[in-house]
Structure 1
Amino acid sequence: MSEADPFTYDGGRVDPGETQNVRYTISETYMGDPVRMPVTIVNGEQPGPTMFLSAAAHGDELNGVEVVREVAHEWDHAGLEGTLVCLPVLNVPGFIAQQRYLPIYDRDLNRSFPGHETSTSARRMAHRIFHNFVEPCDIGLDFHTSTRGRTNMLHVRADMDDPDVSRLANSFASNVIISSSGPSGTLRREASDQAVPTITVEMGEAHRFQRDLIDRALDGVRSVMAEFGLDPDESVHWPGWRTVVDGQDEKTWIRADVGGLVEMHHARGAFVPEGDPICTITNPFKTETTTVEAPFPGLLVGSLENPLVYPGNPICHLVELDERTQRALARNGGVSDGD
């Protein structure tokens, strides 16, 4: 059997059989103090692929933070074949401020990859993260939540036209995969374009830990590690049913045609038959009511949490299910999607 290789980055080295917790400098504050990103590198004694797990590219998206921390610090990696690069908080300034974007000029770190060492502050941070901890890997999982005021059921976003990305997405064992290459500058797109197949895992809402979703995501990580040989004692999971959706299909977003206060009639992850009311929108006096009906039989992948809308605001992300998938969903008792 060949020997495992060390994992190296600018300023450090982790040999086979070692685990290191690092606070890696990615920028500086206005006072010239270092902005340091937490990194845990677990290098197994046996050779195998290198996988990164990242979270909080948007600083208020916390569910993935706990997923990455538990993989790094609570799992037994004695039999690990390969290397785990665990990045629980990419956007350190946003995380500290508990806001989505970098406080520096309100830039989106997840539109700044792969970065550049002489460009904007966001792209300089992205460059140091990408060059040191993403490019050396073979596969990657990037964890996100919905933005404020909305919530997502656990699902995967991946470029299913790329066979390597498709293999990774299928192995994560989610019920729903939304297929698209992703916007330019996102970590998953830029990593995949650099031959590091990467998927985004969406789960829940911002500003909180949601235990059931975290546990489901941890099951997905175990399944990926089984598929790619990082953990030979695990097995690849099958979620019972699956649908793959074209992420470019705008009709899946249901938007308000009037402004007002919203009462949702179905929770995140619910199946809504065609013609059933998704929600009602009323004015402050409840003298005018608008009912929004499902235009097709679909699954509520994402839904509103903040019950206020302007015309044009998204109410929910409804994914159409064919009859075969509906039957499979029913056989499996619907969607188990947390709270």
Structure 2
Amino acid sequence: MTSLGTASAAPGEVDTGRLSVGESRDGADVGLPVCVINGADDGKTLYLQAASDGDELNGVGVIRRLVPQLDPEAIAGTILVVGIVNVHGFRVAEHRNPIDDTKLNRAYPGDNRGTSSERIAATTFDIATSADLVLDLHQGSTSRMIRETRVRCGPRHRLHDACLDLAKTFDCGYVLDQKGPDGQLARAGPDEGVPTIDPELGGSVGFDEKSVEVGVEGVKNVLREYGFVEGTASGGEQVRATGFEQYGASAGGLVEFLVDLGDRVERGDRLFRITDAFGAVKAEATADAAGVFWRTRRLPQVATGEYVCSVGTDLDTY
């Protein structure tokens, strides 16, 4: 019997329940939705979570579609799922946890006696570090972004190659291989010996069906490659970026992008221009280095110095 919160499944069974992470302002229990998929045969344990950032819904869409497709009788091992991590942010469609105004994916490994976010992080981190592999499903918030996987432990980490292999197996077509900020699960998990990656499933408001489809296939690739189910992962050649350049607005106005997401750019290529409300060009920005046009803001209006777009640089294929 394998349990997670109130979910409990014998071999060959699936169960759902709630995982308590504290109480709300009216004293009611706050529980994260969880699922245990206990395979009929012994094997590895995969931990899967989504929506540690409350407005990043594509990962929730992946779990909603994936779980009904999994037959525990055909699985070797166990899959532990937390369907919505930042439940406070999810409920009000906000990126951060509104209880403590914290980006939850900067709170790992957490603190069982700390803030709301630290307590949620500590509870989910205990589950993650009991597993053999971790997939922390994200997206580029509500901005526009290509689909990619992120390896965040840094190239000198002892688990770097294992995390990179996991990212390649998931196969979004692009990998950002760059050490991430403190407090990310994909940074903290490898420190405890567990290969952990951060698939970024595009960027959208609500569900993007293509990104959800890519995420479902990515998880299935991992299940095949690591022996949870029969079959062969469908990965191909991928582009890896180890640098990431961000561009801001040098003037206020309306942004017009001159390249599309996923386009290759060379140093000096025009990326965007800013016009006033009457179409007069006020400023242009060009690429500082060759790379892939990776991410942009969603809305066209910008103030001076505001974020506009990003380019993945220092590319290779593998």
Shorter-chain TM-score above 0.5: yes
**1:155 maps onto 2:155 in alignment:** no
Q: Partner of 1:67 in structure 2?
A: 62
Secondary structure, in 3 states, of the residue corresponding to 2:123?
helix
TM alignment of 1:26-45, pairs within 5 A? 26-45=21-40
Q: Partner of 1:189 in structure 2?
A: 187
Shift of 1:44: 0.2
What is the identity percentage for the equivalent residue pairs of Structure 1 and Structure 2? 29
What does the per-residue CA deviation read over 1:131-175, in whole Å, with 9 as the maximum and x for residues that have no partner?
2x2122110111111134x22111011136322212211211232
Q: 1:242 pairs with 238, 242, 245, which one?
A: 238
CA separation of 1:107 and 1:295: change in aligned 2, threshold 3 A: closer
- Structure 2 contact 48–79 (Cα < 8 Å) conserved: yes
- Structure 1 contact 26–129 (Cα < 8 Å) conserved: no
In the alignment, the residues of structure 1 paired with residue 201 and residue 191 of structure 2 have an alpha-carbon distance, to the nearest angstrom, of 24
Q: 1:88 pairs with 68, 83, 102, which one?
A: 83
Q: 1:307 pairs with 297, 300, 304, which one?
A: 300
What does the per-residue CA deviation read over 1:41-70, in whole Å, with 9 as the maximum and x for residues that have no partner?
101011111111111001111011011222
**1:261 maps onto 2:254 in alignment:** yes
**More off after superposition, 200-209 vs 92-101:** 200-209
In the alignment, the residues of structure 1 paired with residue 121 and residue 312 of structure 2 have an alpha-carbon distance, to the nearest angstrom, of 32
TM alignment of 1:2-13, pairs within 5 A? 6-9=1-4, 13=8
What does the per-residue CA deviation read over 1:259-317, in whole Å, with 9 as the maximum and x for residues that have no partner?
22101123322333544332210123433432223344432221121112223323222
Secondary structure, in 3 states, of the residue corresponding to 1:177?
strand
TM alignment of 1:1-339, pairs within 5 A? 6-9=1-4, 13-131=8-126, 133-148=127-142, 150-158=143-151, 159=153, 161=155, 162-232=160-230, 234-239=231-236, 241-246=237-242, 249=243, 252-320=245-313
In the alignment, the residues of structure 2 paired with residue 292 and residue 182 of structure 1 have an alpha-carbon distance, to the nearest angstrom, of 26
Shift of 1:318: 1.1
**Amino acid of the structure 2 residue aligned with 1:213:** S
Secondary structure, in 3 states, of the residue corresponding to 1:170?
helix
CA separation of 1:180 and 1:273: change in aligned 2, threshold 3 A: closer
In the alignment, the residues of structure 1 paired with residue 254 and residue 174 of structure 2 have an alpha-carbon distance, to the nearest angstrom, of 29
- Structure 1 contact 59–95 (Cα < 8 Å) conserved: yes
In the alignment, the residues of structure 1 paired with residue 41 and residue 179 of structure 2 have an alpha-carbon distance, to the nearest angstrom, of 33
Count of residues in correspondence between the two structures: 313
Contiguous gaps of at least 5 residues in structure 2: none
Secondary structure, in 3 states, of the residue corresponding to 1:78?
helix
In the alignment, the residues of structure 2 paired with residue 189 and residue 35 of structure 1 have an alpha-carbon distance, to the nearest angstrom, of 26
In the alignment, the residues of structure 2 paired with residue 219 and residue 62 of structure 1 have an alpha-carbon distance, to the nearest angstrom, of 17
In the alignment, the residues of structure 2 paired with residue 123 and residue 279 of structure 1 have an alpha-carbon distance, to the nearest angstrom, of 39
**Amino acid of the structure 2 residue aligned with 1:96:** R
- Structure 1 contact 23–37 (Cα < 8 Å) conserved: yes
User: Normalising by the residue count of structure 1, what TM-score does the alignment of the two structures yield?
Assistant: 0.85
**Amino acid of the structure 2 residue aligned with 1:34:** D
**Amino acid of the structure 2 residue aligned with 1:245:** A
**Amino acid of the structure 2 residue aligned with 1:144:** H
Secondary structure, in 3 states, of the residue corresponding to 1:37?
strand
